Each structure stands twice: as structure tokens, then as C-alpha cells.
Chains A and B, each alone.
Chain A
Amino acid sequence: MGQAAVVNDDALVVRVQDFVKRYRKRTAVEGVSLAIRRGEIYGLIGPDGAGKSSLMKAVAGVLAFEGGYIEIFGQTIDSEAAAERVKGRLGFMPQGLGLNLYPELSVEENIDFFAELREVPKAELQARKLRLLAMTRLEKFRDRAMKQLSGGMKQKLGLVCTLIHEPELIILDEPTTGVDPVSRRDFWAILTQLLRERGVTALVSTAYLDEAERFARMALLHGGRVLAEGTPEAILDEAPGSLVEFVAAPQMEALARLRARFANVEAVGGRIRVFVPDGQAQAALAEVRAQLDGLAVELATASIPSLEDAFIALLQRQRGENEEAPMVAGLKEDPPVGDGVAIEARGLVRDFDHFRAVDQVSFTVRQGEIFGLLGANGAGKTTVIKMLTGILPPTGGAGAVAGADMRHAGQAIKERIGYVSQAFSLYQDMTVRENLRLFARIYGVSRQNLDARIGRVVELARLGKVCNEIVGRLPMGIRQRLALASALVHGPRVLFLDEPTSGVDPIGRRRFWEILVHLARVEQVAILLTTHYMSEAEHCDHLALMYAGKVIADDTPQALKDALVREAGQVLDIAAEPVLPALEALEQTGLADAALFGRRIHVLAHDVTAATVRIRGILEGKGIRVEDIAPRAPTLEDVFVWRILERERAEVAR
């Protein structure tokens, strides 16, 4: 961050010191301290159970706590009465889509209710309501009952109700969880507008690490403690190192060699990413090349690591040695890419009453391929999976899974596939081994083979240490590995995964992916998965984007990004100070898609050189200091949002 201004205490809106929260004997938050300045978007980032919600509720004055103190607007929150005094100046939106709203009331009635609760003067209510409805693009739905809104719209209505009394501080608990990427982007745009027009201060939590770049400053929480705090740059400095990316063959051999030396190695599609601690770019590249001596290494680049890499490195440092040995399954040669078709969908259609949930969906998944199905909630992903797994008969179209026709051989399909469902749905009151035995027997593994098969998946999913533990007492990451092991116990050749890593911390997610990559590359299992995490979609060999029941794009991640660059242009990353006037200046000159990312701005441009010159001109003409303008590789989220907006534009035009 550019400004090194001395922070005087007047500028502090929230100050938390040595905060401790316990639930009975369990400590949820242990000694957290942080300070939020006026007019900044401050992020609390961490997986489920990190302590984000407890901290936010305490700041909002709705949760008593055991230790430390909290100060808001200079008022120490040490009693109900003290909390009451500042409540009028803050707005709090709890976690969960629209959980604080009333499903039976219409959009407008919900807003009116909260306005009355907050004693908003009648004279002002009308103007505020109109402005907020316009900002959230909810005007058209004023009379619709809240329960009939989509997830993203519910969340926006929740935001309107939180903002109706014009609070100075807004506290939003995981506002983007379970919301599709387009609504998510809308949400950030609204927050940016509020910040700019009204100078609000926001405390926002998220479980998506790729959202971290939206924040000016943030705290990374894990297990109730702060791992790192500050600007993105400050956090990256805590875990110095370089990120080396390349393509190597054979991939499994390269992975095995690197894992022997580096703690943080992952395969992303055809590429391998390695976090090299303490290394400058060139030194890190040399180090990796030395480790891979004799293998074909191409397209190697070294760059600044992402916040997720830093988070994982910090976590690993805190936990000490990696408690489980990484999976070593080196192969001298990459197995040939299987050409057997594992899953085929041809023009699948599914109607519910008069609503077409899936419309002419076609795709092919080969053995050994990881195929990702992306889409917002309600786009039809789960319906497609249900049809392919034989749970739901299709209205039209055809398909085959593992050699069985999905229209007639539902039973055969069920016997030949493995399935990991969205929410963890094994038996939490039974032990790991009891669960595995149950599913092995259901899938027809006989008495003689039972122990051998279970032993194999236990080793694969690295569950050896927890075999006799009750599942309910295990963390999410291990539970999901158990779900995967249960789905693999009969040795299926096709695996379906429905949002398998929601709620799993980043390290847990990487472990999970290590297993998936092994399955696909070494054992030639075909994997079809759905996910909300765009960073996870990068791991897939092939992606299909679904929107309103249709597949709107279907290609490899790289090809999708290349197509975006061709059609929409390159993403330019602009660092300018002060940033808010810069954003306004850019929008006024017609760069409508300019978006705020922490203290940086992203715009799309076809001609990078010309755009750079033009932007520099605009900003410097307004007396704004431009620090850097650099093209940046688009993310899959950029692709997703662009494709959907393109669809929406096409529909409006028609």
C-alpha cells in the first residue's frame, strides 16, 4: 500500500484487542487483535471454524465474549448498554442466504420492516429505498416474495435491509458464500460504490481465498488465531518466496521428485505449481530445474505467489512438519491418455412441470480426464449429475456412463460409479472403518476381499491414523477424504463429485486434489465434478460452463482464457493513488467495467499499449499518481462472468 500515513486513533472505527471467545470448553477465538480504519474494506479470511463469525458477532454487539476488549467509534463495548449506544451506527448481516429476512414478505415489505425497526424517517425512506433498489438492480422485483428470489438476489436484498438506516460501519458475514460469480461481482461493485459515495467502513468475511485481493487490508484467521494481518503485500512478505509454474513430462514423476523437497506442490491441469520459499525468481527457477534434472520442462515461469500460497505456507510453518507424508506415486512414464469414453451426454433435456432445468446438454468425458461442470446455483449442474447417475430419468436426449445406457440401466450405472455428494453425507455417528465396511458391502465387495479393498482406499486417502475414530469428531477435510474413499471402495472407473470441497480449508483442499490427480493420471479414473471455487476449476482438464440449463462454453481452461482475451481483451491491473478518485475518473471516461480490487483497479482492454497510454493520460490529467499498469492473466472467474453477461446481453437484445 502506497500511503505510509501515521494513523491517528480518530481514524480507527473498530479496535479489537486480545479478543477471546469460548463456547463452553472449546475456544473459538484466541487472542485476536486488529484495527479497522475509517473508509476501508477490511477482510476476515479463513476456512469454516476459523472464528470469523464469532468475532463479527462480537463486533456487532450481539455476542458476549470472554476476554479482551472491543472498541467501536471510540466506545468500549463492555456491556449491553454500551453495545446499544453504537448499534444505530452499524449494520450487521449474518451468515446464510437471506436468513435475517422474512420469506413470506415481498422485497419492499422486507425493506419497510427493517426501516421501521431502525426508525428511519418516513420522508427519507422513499428516496433511500429507490436509490438502494436501483443500486442492487432489484427495482423490478419489488413485489416479489423474498422466498422466490435467487440466492444472489436474496443476498442483495439482505444488504439493502442492512443499509437502510445508513450505517457508518457495515459488518457482513460471508456475504458471497453460495452466491454465483456474477452476483458476487455485483456485490463487490455495490460495496465499492458505497465506499466511494458515502465513505462507509466495511468488515467483510469470506472463505474464498481468491476474494482476498478485494480487500485493502485483511486478517488471515485459522483455528481462532491470526496467521497474518495487513495489506496483501505485507502478508506476502510474511511468507517470502516465488511461485514457479511449468509443464513437465512425465508429470507424476516430476510431482514425486518435487514433493520430496518442497512442501507446497500441486498439479493444476497439465501444469505444475511449486512454491519455493525464500527464493528470488531466478534462484527459484534454477532450484526447481535442478530437482527435475533429466525431465522435459517447458514454459517455466517464476512469479509472485498468490495469497493462497502464502496462507498455506504460513499454516505449514505454524503446524511445523507436514504431519502426513505427501503421496509419492512416481511413474517413470505418463500413462497414455485413455481414449475410452467414460461419460457421454447427448442432448440431455429435463423438464420440471413447465420449467426446463436442463436444455440440450452434450459433452464427453474420457477415462483419465478431470472434467469440471461450472455454473451458478440453479444453472442445472446437479440435475445433469442426477440424470447421469441414474437417479433422475431425462425428459429427452441420451447418454452413457461406464458403458451403460443411462435411460435403461440406472441400476448398472449405480453399481459402476462412485459418488461424493455436495454436503458430507456419510454416517457421523459411526467410525471411519464402519462407514467404509458399510459402503463396501453395499457395493457388493465380498467377505474375502473386504479387508484388502478397504486397506487400499485407506492408504490412498491417507486415513490410516483415523480408522477407528467417530466421523463426527473429524475435521471437514478428513471427512471429505473419507467420502471419497467410500466412493472408491468398489474400484469404480467413473467418479462423480458434487462440490466436494465446500467448507474444507486450503490445505485440506490441496490434499484432496492430490488424490484426485493421482486417480485420474495413474489409475485412469474419469472424474466429473462441480465446483463453486474458480481457483479449483483451474485444476480441471476440461470445463463446461452452464447457464440457465445450457452449456455456454466447453473447452480447456487455457483455451477459455485465450478466447476471453481475443473477444474481450486483456485484464489491466492498475495501481494508482488515491484509488477511489482514479476509479471514478476511469468510469466517467467510459471504462464502465472498471472494478476495484483492494487498492488496485482492473479494466479490460483489447490493445494493451494504447490503453495503458490512454489510462495514464486520464489519471495524470486529474492529478492522480499512477504507480503501475500491467497486463494480468485472466482468471476463470473473469471468463465465467464475461460469458454469462454476454448471454444476458444477447437475451436483452432479442
Chain B
Amino acid sequence: MKELFHLEPARSSLLNRLWELQHQHGFISDHDITQIAAELQISSVEVEGVVSFYHFFHRQPSGKYTIYLDDSIIAGYKGYHRILEAFERETGTTLGSVDRTGTFGLFRTPCIGLSDQSPAALINFRPFTQLNVIKVKDIIQQLRSGADIDQLYQLPPSNVCNTPYSAMNIFFRSYTPGSAVRELAKCQPDDVIRFLRETNLSGRGGAFYPTWKKWEACRSYQADHKFIVCNADEGEPGTFKDRVLLQDLPGLLIEGMIISAFAVGAQYGIIYLRGEYGWLQDQIQKTIDDFNELGLLGSNISGIKGFNFQVRIQLGAGAYVCGEETAMLESMEGHRDEPRTKWFYPVEKGYLQYPTIVNNVETLCAAARIVELGVAEYNKAGLPGSPGTKLISVSGDCNKPGVYELPWGITVAELLELCNAVDPNFIQVSGPSGECISISEKFRRISMLDLLGKPDLRCGGSFMIFNKDREIIDILLNFASFFKQESCGICTPCRSGNFIIERKLEKLKNKLARQVDIDDIVNWGHIIRSTSRCGLGKTSCNSLVMAMQKFGGYFDTLIDKKENGQIAGFNMDEALADYEQYKS
């Protein structure tokens, strides 16, 4: 485990401590909690509050082999249920529990960033992809007979798909460590910020906030220390582009962080890596070590006097809301990851109240390429006003799922053609919190611009394709239950609103809903969006509301129209079923 930076308080090590215990014992015991609480001089319940927030931490033994099965909607359509059944049969345990011998624990988890190789599972946090019943049987038998798990798994392929546009690649072109950082010797921090402004680089996590504004703001605050945090908590279901960058180009990412540090005057960098990507940790750490040796990290980097910067990795533990920047900072400080109220932006008071830059993996990589290639070269790709390329993770009903590097400005139709989509009908862009489009919108562009007053699709990275046989209500229900579980629980509309919405969708699925229920969902979606505390709640109903508007014909077939409007949806047989069992 990597040491904290000297200025970080003991509490920042809480997550690492808990991981250590989880790995050692398979769970975190009462004794451990009391001990940690005593060390940190906080009450035990506070430690427990943190433990219970993350679904990779267990308070009961979770088995010698802990299996997490990806239950995202993509996995659902690729055979999740079959695989689950196979695991249950082979391990002798049921979902959510550990078998009698304590060997196997079987749990489910939202998207693990392997939607292109679905169905997938993590076993002791190592990826096993493209599972089928035979494979499951084989894996479990081998584990039972004492095989070393590290021999059993292979690193999943990156699945970077080549396209006719590959000649214009920004990210996936050849990479030599240090080529971007060496450019820094020739310029000033203000130049770097100018480069970003001239290339219109904006936050690739999905919010598309102009990166240069963020960096410039952070630069303007005077402080003893500043932090660069890389948001590698790629939790949005259906997204896996950052996984590929972390796997193939970790050096480029670190260079992006170094450039950011140079621009804003930061000394410390932290890569917040999602727990699901724990298998990438060693490789990234090795790259950091190499960089230290090459003099690309440490003191007087690249010969620039007084430019000191170090990087460490912080491993998350399974919580989607950590992708929200202030929640991530809370998590790093050893608190429950509840998003902060926006009194200050992180650029002013972020990690440990120091000015902090939080940027997505892809944004930092892009920044590195901009410095390396120069503005003119970068701007050759894409559209004027939305230059460069975008990484898109394509999954679902297509023959070629994977990561596509495409110039901004490509249309949905072109992308569908490239990935060989089969009968596409419903497409979820930017994940559940993004927007859904119907195939009738296939000529829309993917860019950061507007076209004829209508904004283009700002794809954050996830592009899930569903064909016309997929029940839209099932997709939406999967999303609703995802948000219900992943809400941090701190604000009313997100916590209880998503719970209420899920119930309503179940009613719709059971064909007990009326037109008024559809109207309710749209109205309530607006309320949840307007009153929630952070981006999670604000976006949780986006695609739901859009789907109601775009797929009106489909929902018409689900609602019950035959009653006269005086009677509400109610199923007597179902309501009586519990009592009928006493009929002798």
C-alpha cells in the first residue's frame, strides 16, 4: 500500500485501512472497527457509517472467494440470469450470501466497466469476462481444487475498435513517456491554459465544464498546497473508456496530471481509482514508479526548477456517487461520500480545504495530447468549435462492442453503422443519467455544439444500444433501481423520490398504470431534478422523462385504458394471494 502524503491527516487513510482488513479477513469485524475508532478518536458508529456506505466492505465474512456479478442492464441481456444460476449451482450458495464452508460468497454489483465483454464478474477483484455456463463451472472447479486465482484470469482485452477515422486519432496514437511533459520546459502555466481554451477542452466525465476555466480559477487561488485529483471512478453504467485508457495509456494520464499541476501550481496528485478497477492498480503504480525514476515525477520535473509533483493512487470501494467530485473528496478524507453543499467549488476549497482540480481520466489524457501535439494539430480533428476526438464505449445489441475514438461531429447513424448494430431502437447515450434517443433521431450529431437551436448529443462516454425486442420498461426499471441503491441517501428527493419512481415503474410493468401515472412520472421527474442536492439526483430521472415523451406509443401499450377512470389500478387476485394460502 502506498503511503499518504505527509500533509494528509490519519483519517485520509481510513479507506486504505478498511481495504487491508477486507482483503485480509474477508470482512471487517467489530473489533477492527473499535480499534480504528480509538486510533482516529472518533466514535465507532462513525467508522461503521463509512464501512456501510461501500458495497465492497462486508461486516460478515464474504467468503474465501468473493464473487461480484455485474447486474447492469447490458449484462441482463447477455445472460446474467443464466450465469447467476450457474454460479449458484456450482458454488452452492445463493445470491447475497456465502456458502456453508465459507469458500464462496456471491454478490451482485452494478456495472463493473466491462460491458463490452458482458457477462462479467469480479472474483476477488480480478476480472472474468465473457462468461458462459461452462466457463463458470470450470472456474469454480479449479478454485475448489486449489488453483491460484492469478493463474486463472487474464487481463481483459482493451477492445479498441479501429475505424476509418483512426488516422485522426488523438488518444490511441503511439505514445512515448515524457513527450508531453518535456514540452512544458518551453512554456508558462498561462500558455497551457491558453492551449486548453483554444482547443475548447471540456470535462469528459459528462458535465462538459470548460477545463481551462477550472484550471484558471484554481490557479488564481493562493494556497500553500494544491491538489490534482484524477477522477477514475468511472461508475456510469455502460462506460468503460477510462478503463481502456488506464490499461493502455496510464503514462499519458499521469502526464496530464503533471501538466495540470504545472498549470495551477499543485504539488500533489491523487488518482481515485474505482474499486472495480482494482486489478489495474499494480500496473498504474508501476507507471508512477517508472515516472519517478525517469524524473518525470518528483522534484524539479523535466528540469523545471521548483516544479515538484508526486502522485499516489486511492482505491475506492464501490459507490457510484463517488464520481461526484465533492463526494469523492469526502471519500478521500475518510468520510461517508455525501456530496457537499456548494458553498465552495473544489478549485477554491477542495481536498482538505486546499484548492483542488478534479478532472476525468479522458480530460487529463486529452490535455496531455494537446500539449504534446500542439493546438493546431489537435484542432484538425472534429468540428470547428468542438474540435478533437471523443472516446465512446459502445455496448449492447451490436456486433462490435468496444471503445471507439471518433471525431466530434459524427452522427448516431454512422456510429451504429461502425459498430454493426442490429435493429437498434432505444439508445442510451451517456449512461442512465444521460439521455435516451429513439432510432428516429439517428441523424443527430455527437458534439458539444448546437444544430439549428437544438443541442447536439454530448456523449459522456457510454453508448448502450438496445434492439427492438428489448422491453423499454425493463431498461428503465434497471436504471431506477440503480439510482435507488446508489443515492447517497442524504437528500429527500433523490433518496425517496427514486424509491417512489421505482414502485411506479413496477406498477407500469405490471400493466396496472393509467395515463395519469405516466403524467405523474414526468411531473415527479421534474421535481426530483429541480430539488436534488447533487448531479446524481438531478439527472436520475432524465432518461425516464425523455423515454415517456419519445416512446409514447410504446407506453400506450402498457397502460390500462379499459376502465372508466373512476377506478385506480388494482389487482385483486394478487392482493388476495397471501391469504388464499390458508384455504384448506
Is B truly associated with A?
no
